[in-house]
Amino acid sequence: MSQSLSSCVIKLHKEHHALEDYQGGVPRWCNGCGDNAILAAMQRLCADEDLAPENTVFVSGIGCSSRLPHYMKTYGFHSLHGRAFPVAEGIKMARPDLNVFVSTGDGDCCSIGAAHWIHALRYNMNITVVLHDNHVYGLTKKQASPTSPRGFKSNTTPYGATLEPMNPLTVSLGVQGASFIAQGVDWIPEVLYDILRAAYLHRGFSFVRIIQRCPEFMPKVFDPWLHDPQRTMLLTHKDGLTLSPGIASAYRNQREHDPINIDRAREIASLDDPIPVGILYRNPDAPCYEDLRHAGQLRSPEYIRAGLDREFDKYTVWPEGHADA
Amino acid sequence: MTQTATLAAPEVILPAPRPATPIPEAIVEVISDSGEGAQRCGQSLGAIAARMGNGIWTTEIIPAEIQPPARSVAGASGIRIRMGSGRVTNGGDQTGLVVAFNEQVLIGRVQAGELKPGAKILLECMWKTHRDPAVVISYMKTVEALLKDGFEVYEVPLEDRCRELVADPRKGKNMFVLGILCNVYGLDDQLAREQIARIFGKKDAKVVASNIALYEAGAAWAETNLDFKYCIPAQKSTVPQIVVNGNTAIALGVMASGMDICAMYPITPATSASHYLSEVFEKIGGLVHQAEDEIAACAFAVGASYAGKCAVTITSGPGYSLKQEVIGLAVMAEIPLVVVNVQRGGPSTGQPTKVEQGDALAAIFGSHGDAPKVVMAPNSIEDCFYSVITARKIAETFGMVVVVLSDASLSTAQQPFPRPVFNETWLAPPVDLTPVPPGSKAYDWDPVTGLSRRLQPGRVGGMHTVTGLAHDRNSKVAYDPAINEEGLRARSLKLAALQKTLKAPPVFGGDSGDLLLIGWGSTMGAIEESVTRLRADGLAVSSMHLRFLQPMPSGIREILARFKYAMTIEGNWSDKPGDELIDEDNRRYSALAMLLRSRFLVDIDCWSEARGQPIKPGDICRVAREALTRKGHTS
């Protein structure tokens, strides 16, 4: 890899960040909560990519998942239930120079914020999104979520959830403009990290659904998958994931999938057993909304004055004797 | 000799020009079915009069549907133009001349009492020979009734004459009417031609020429067929003036404030501000984002404000309700935000195209919990422009949400005002990206003012997570009772800090007297006009108009003390004291009256109406006289 001398000098002077530079407070999630795995992967990603903490913003909505920004030592915006996407879009539009991440949950993204989710996919802004999907409302103490399995007994569905669960992957892949859709599971942290890294490196709206365990309200629901590696299907491709020898020997159910193939991606997305893990779809050529809208332009007062005067001219009645009268 | 005579050019016999009666002002309405161009005709008339130096105020009459049924009372679409020798600040009382494209749309205006007794009506007469006998009967009966009621009806063959010039007379008759009206009011012919060229300038020269032909035909028809003509003496302004409506003024204000981003969702009557902004904002590096819904628009603006310069979201009543939760987040996290609410009739979907001042309390007290924010109300078209600039400054200086309450009346009304002279200090400063010492507090609340410095992304050493949860000075989530109150106190104190900088509102009329009328927002012109009329009759009536509803400036208490009585005049609902069940224990007062009563412990009365029409100065005069009579003053 060749680099110009000046960029090397700049790199030399740049502060290198260690893992602890991204570690905020001690997480207050339950023991065994999948959120911890996601947080660890995120912090590692920031350190490996050496993201300047001051130029990085983690945005979230409301729910257990959305506490994540508090545990990062970057800038953070813990917003409202369902509204993380529009907040993050506003941030990116105003400051395209910032690294913007979104943490959201299955209630936050797929229920109260569903409209924003669909449109966020369509805008395709350069934001990295993690959907912490534990199939249940945790912070409000065990209610069915849109991704809860049918028959799931909760405080709002004491006789079992009535409806079939929503599949966030098929929904996402149905949106025109979507450019990066992937899925990870919290019990394979190495692959989770690889997927998050690929998501970060993709320029566009990278949507990563992570199936995670809620030990408090949904214990053991994923045990069958944990106990049988064959029920997790890893998607591999030279443009997708390449597996380490350790992972490759532990998870032998593998399938080659080219992430540019959206039809195949939709097919894979529909599977729930085995759970597909990997990059389902990636289109590096999808345009980003902030680029289409020329975000982040610098404007001088003179420029604004000239533009404003042009507009005033359209509506001006000049006094008698004025050149334009 | 006879031979010489035959060589001479044939003598053209022109009718003697009708003498023009000088009048100080006129109120004209053009009423049509939707899509017949009445508004364009009226706006052009207003613009020509303004260019001549007349004061003008135009008020649009807009049906709620895009294509309401033709020839229906509810479908009336039109415009009122008030032209005067001096400055005109409101739409006035009743109209003296109406041009109606059919009798049905006219009926609504007559029933609403919008016509002066004996008003002149120029009525399209093609309906008289319509193939549907029901239409003919309706037309004949209406004309008969109008004549019986004392109106002067002039039947005008609008479409018949236009058909001689253009293929689709329905589209052309508005310029024919412009010709009639320019002739009737003696407006400058050259200015009229320029105005038409300006309107159709984007299209080809043929379109301009055919519209000028229509205009000429209208003027010629009026010259030959009408027996009245007026002139409203005009005085050209010595300073350049701009003629725009309130929504355009708001959009220009957004540009002039240095804000970069406007996030919106389409809603009536606010959207035209965003239409105009969408057209021009990008030319100066700004951006209008049409979000997927009102909530997203507000959240997008909050995100943009958080990371960059203060942003704005523009909406109307129902959209404002939807934004309330996000507004609360901005209050809690102390993120500057400008929210423009172009009020319409409510509650719920209400009257989308009609004026109402119904959102003051929602703006002040809205969003759950204690959510202090600044609420301003522009009182003229000019003020729509400057209010946005002021709002942006306050929002950024105090880290607050500033709500600008315009309304449907200001949104489409046009009035000339001095062309603003750009001032660099209007603009937002660039985002501060200087490093701060590690450990700097995200909310270093000043114990006196509640103010704190903002730490925006990009500032080394300032990293923290903002949250809508209760938080301490480090923005750490905290449920400690004392910390919760510390935050509430700081956010509330900022209002007091701003309040200390506000000037007492001026009193219009005399400094003291019998009755003080108090208003806010778009009613200022009508209230002050009525004060002028009442004082001319020797009544000791004055008025005070509040630009800031929250916080209210100091000095109001002293002003109230100088008047025997005070009452608010508002375009919203209040219980009427005459209703059987209404008494002092249950009467619901108008918004401003309620605010003033609770703050100043003064028995302030109110009069309000929510008819969806701008309040008329004549009605305010009547109400003031009645109030003085009630209190034992002769009027």
Distance from CA of A321 to the nearest CA of B (A): 10
Among residues B91, B37, B29, B41, the alpha carbon closest in space to that of B413 is found at B91
Q: Given A79, A118, A319, which is nearest B329 (Cβ)? A: A79
Domain of residue A122 covers 17-298
Residue type, B397: T
Which pLDDT does position B570 carry in this prediction?
Answer: 98
Contacts of A90 (CB under 8 A, 6+ apart): B261, B263, B299, B300, B301, B302, B303, B304, B305, B306, B307, B311
- Please state whether the predicted TM-score (pTM) of the whole model is above 0.80: yes
Which pLDDT does position B15 carry in this prediction?
Answer: 58
Among residues B37, B29, B48, B154, the alpha carbon closest in space to that of B92 is found at B29
The reply to whether B331 falls in a domain is yes
Which of these three, B399, B426, B453, is where a domain ends? Answer: B426
Same domain, B100 and B225: yes
Cβ–Cβ of B306/A87 closer than 8 Å? yes
List the CATH number of the domain containing B293: 3.40.50.970
Same domain, B32 and B169: yes
CA distances from A81 to A106, A113, A214, B299 (A): 11, 7, 19, 11
Query: From A296, which residue of chain B is nearest by alpha-carbon distance?
Result: B285
Q: Given B285, B301, B457, which is nearest A95 (Cβ)? A: B457
- Please tell me the number of Cα atoms within 13 Å of B97 on its side-chain side: 20
Instruction: State the DSSP H helix or E strand holding residue B173, giving kind and residue range, or none if neither.
Output: helix B169-184
Q: Given A119, A299, A316, which is nearest B292 (Cβ)? A: A119
Query: From A21, which residue of chain B is nearest by alpha-carbon distance?
Result: B463
Residues of B in contact with A299 (CB under 8 A): 260, 284-286
Residues of B in contact with A309 (CB under 8 A): 422
Q: Give residue B40's pLDDT band: very low, low, confident or very high (50, 70, 90).
A: very high
Query: From A58, which residue of chain B is nearest by alpha-carbon distance?
Result: B465
Same domain, B512 and B551: yes
Which pLDDT does position B454 carry in this prediction?
Answer: 93
For B209-227, write each residue's pLDDT tens digit.
999 999 999 999 999 999 9
Residues of A in contact with B301 (CB under 8 A): 90
Q: Give residue B66's pLDDT band: very low, low, confident or very high (50, 70, 90).
A: confident
Residues of B in contact with A75 (CB under 8 A): 457, 462-465
Among residues A123, A118, A82, A125, the alpha carbon closest in space to that of A101 is found at A125
Domain of residue B166 covers 21-231
The percent of residues above 90 in pLDDT, for chain A, comes to 90
The reply to whether A62 falls in a domain is yes
Q: Given B303, B306, B463, which is nearest A73 (Cβ)? A: B463
Same domain, B541 and B422: no
Residues of A in contact with B51 (CB under 8 A): 317
The reply to whether B2 falls in a domain is no
Query: Measured between alpha carbons, how far is B155 from B129 in angstroms, rounded to an integer?
Result: 12
List the CATH number of the domain containing B575: 3.40.50.920
Query: Measured between alpha carbons, how far is B88 from A212 in angstroms, rounded to an integer?
Result: 67
Average pLDDT, integer, range B382-397: 98
The residue among A54, A68, A293, A299 with the most chain B CBs within 10 A of its CB, best to mutate, is A54
For B586-634, write each residue's pLDDT tens digit.
999 999 999 999 999 999 999 999 999 999 999 999 999 999 999 887 5
The reply to whether B119 falls in a domain is yes
Cβ–Cβ of A299/B303 closer than 8 Å? no
- Between residues B108 and A211, which one has the greater pLDDT? A211
Count of the separate structural domains present in chain A: 1
Q: How many A/B residue pairs have CB atoms within 8 Å? A: 197
Asked if the model's pLDDT at residue A2 lies above 70, the reply is: no
For B533-590, write each residue's pLDDT tens digit.
999 999 999 999 999 999 999 999 999 999 999 999 999 999 999 999 999 999 999 9
C-alpha B294: how far from chain center:
22
Which pLDDT does position A324 carry in this prediction?
Answer: 63
Taking every pair of Cα atoms in chain A, the longest distance, rounded to a whole number of angstroms, is 90
Q: Name the H helices within chain A.
A: 5-13, 34-49, 84-94, 106-107, 114-123, 168-173, 189-201, 223-227, 245-250, 262-269, 289-292, 301-315
- Cβ B206 vs Cβ B157: under 8 Å: no
Residues of B in contact with A66 (CB under 8 A): none
Residues of B in contact with A177 (CB under 8 A): none
Asked if the model's pLDDT at residue B516 lies above 70, the reply is: yes
Average pLDDT, integer, range B132-145: 96
The reply to whether B432 falls in a domain is no
The reply to whether B46 falls in a domain is yes
Which of these three, B426, B448, B481, is where a domain ends? Answer: B426
Residues of A in contact with B239 (CB under 8 A): 319
Give, to the nearest 10 degrees, the angle between helix B617-630 and helix B524-536.
60
Helix, strand or coil for residue B21? Answer: strand
Which of A158-162, A265-269, B281-285 has the least mean pLDDT? B281-285
The reply to whether B583 falls in a domain is yes
Distance from CA of A112 to the nearest CA of B (A): 12
Same domain, B351 and B405: yes
Which pLDDT does position B4 carry in this prediction?
Answer: 42
Asked if the model's pLDDT at residue B14 lies above 90, the reply is: no
Query: From A305, which residue of chain B is nearest by alpha-carbon distance?
Result: B422
Count of other CB atoms within 10 angstroms of residue A49: 13
The reply to whether A324 falls in a domain is no
Among residues B214, B222, B161, the alpha carbon closest in space to that of B28 is found at B222
Asked if the model's pLDDT at residue B9 lies above 60, the reply is: no
Count of the separate structural domains present in chain B: 3
Same domain, B372 and B517: no
Query: Interface pTM (ipTM) of the complex?
Result: 0.95
Query: Measured between alpha carbons, how far is A312 from B243 in angstroms, rounded to an integer?
Result: 9
Query: Measured between alpha carbons, how far is A286 from A156 in angstroms, rounded to an integer?
Result: 41
Average pLDDT, integer, range B146-156: 97
Q: Given B286, B301, B466, which is nearest A90 (Cβ)? A: B301
Q: What string of DSSP letters covers B229-290? A: -EE------SS-EEEEEHHHHHHHHHHHTT--EEEE---TTTHHHHHHHHHHGGGGT-EEEE
Contacts of A101 (CB under 8 A, 6+ apart): A42, A56, A57, A58, A59, A127, A128, A129, A130
Asked if the model's pLDDT at residue B1 lies above 60, the reply is: no
Q: Name the H helices within B260-380.
A: 271-280, 294-307, 317-333, 360-365
Residues of A in contact with B465 (CB under 8 A): 24, 58, 69-70, 72, 75-78
Q: Give residue B171's pLDDT band: very low, low, confident or very high (50, 70, 90).
A: confident
Asked if the model's pLDDT at residue A271 lies above 80, the reply is: yes
Backbone angles phi, psi at A128, to 5 degrees: -105, 125
The residue among B300, B302, B424 with the most chain A CBs within 10 A of its CB, best to mutate, is B300
Which pLDDT does position A323 carry in this prediction?
Answer: 67
- Cβ A146 vs Cβ A78: under 8 Å: no
Asked if the model's pLDDT at residue B153 lies above 70, the reply is: yes
User: Mean pLDDT of all residues in chain B?
Assistant: 94
Q: Give residue B67's pLDDT band: very low, low, confident or very high (50, 70, 90).
A: confident
Handedness of CA A194, A197, A201, A203 (dihedral sign): positive
Cβ–Cβ of A90/B237 closer than 8 Å? no
Distance from CA of A96 to the nearest CA of B (A): 10
List the CATH number of the domain containing A186: 3.40.50.970
The percent of residues above 90 in pLDDT, for chain B, comes to 90
Q: Given A76, A116, A303, which is nearest B284 (Cβ)? A: A303
Which of these three, B362, B392, B426, is where a domain ends? Answer: B426
Q: Give residue A13's pLDDT band: very low, low, confident or very high (50, 70, 90).
A: low
Average pLDDT, integer, range A215-235: 95
Burial class of residue A322 (count of CB atoms within 10 Å of its CB; 0-12, 13-18, 19+):
exposed
The reply to whether A10 falls in a domain is no
Q: Given B282, B325, B431, which is nearest A80 (Cβ)? A: B325
Same domain, B189 and B323: no
Asked if the model's pLDDT at residue B281 lies above 90, the reply is: yes
The reply to whether A317 falls in a domain is no
Same domain, B341 and B210: no
The reply to whether B459 falls in a domain is no
Residue type, B175: M
Query: From B52, which residue of chain A is nearest by alpha-carbon distance?
Result: A317
Query: Measured between alpha carbons, how far is B268 from B246 in angstroms, rounded to an integer?
Result: 14
Residues of B in contact with A59 (CB under 8 A): 303
The reply to whether B379 falls in a domain is yes
Q: Give residue A14's pLDDT band: very low, low, confident or very high (50, 70, 90).
A: low
Q: Give residue B188's pLDDT band: very low, low, confident or very high (50, 70, 90).
A: very high
Distance from CA of B411 to the nearest CA of A (A): 16
For A167-187, write each residue's pLDDT tens digit.
999 999 999 999 999 999 999
Asked if the model's pLDDT at residue A120 lies above 70, the reply is: yes
Classify residue A310 as left (phi > 0), alpha (psi -120 to 50) or beta.
alpha
Burial class of residue A245 (count of CB atoms within 10 Å of its CB; 0-12, 13-18, 19+):
exposed
Which pLDDT does position A89 carry in this prediction?
Answer: 98
Which pLDDT does position B617 carry in this prediction?
Answer: 98
The reply to whether A143 falls in a domain is yes
Same domain, B36 and B161: yes
